[in-house]
């Protein structure tokens, strides 16, 4: 897994030295980045939001470990 989240936060901290917290869109359990989409339906008053996890890091392009760290073992 890449360390882009840490590197991007460090660069933003340099730009915004007074910042007390820098939050990105990273899912806590998997550590993968995500995007949120807003879906508006005519029969609903409020739009729905849907989180979509990235398969690859949007910063460096490295593939995320999507099997939860498990290795395929053949016995």
Closest CA to 55 of 32, 26, 28: 32
- pLDDT computed for residue 7 by the predictor: 92
End-to-end Cα separation, the chain, in angstroms: 26
pLDDT in tens, the chain (75 residues): 788 899 999 999 999 998 989 888 888 888 899 999 999 999 999 999 999 999 999 999 999 887 654 444 444
- pLDDT computed for residue 55 by the predictor: 93
- pLDDT computed for residue 67 by the predictor: 67
- pLDDT computed for residue 72 by the predictor: 45
């Amino acid at each position: 897994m890449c360390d882009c989240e840490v590197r991007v936060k460090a660069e933003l901290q340099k730009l915004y030295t007074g910042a007390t917290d820098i939050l990105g869109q990273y899912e806590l359990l998997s550590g993968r980045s995500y995007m949120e989409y807003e879906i508006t339906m005519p029969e609903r008053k409020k739009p729905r939001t849907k989180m979509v996890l990235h398969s690859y890091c949007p910063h460096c392009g490295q593939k995320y470990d999507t099997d939860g760290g498990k290795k395929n073992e053949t016995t």
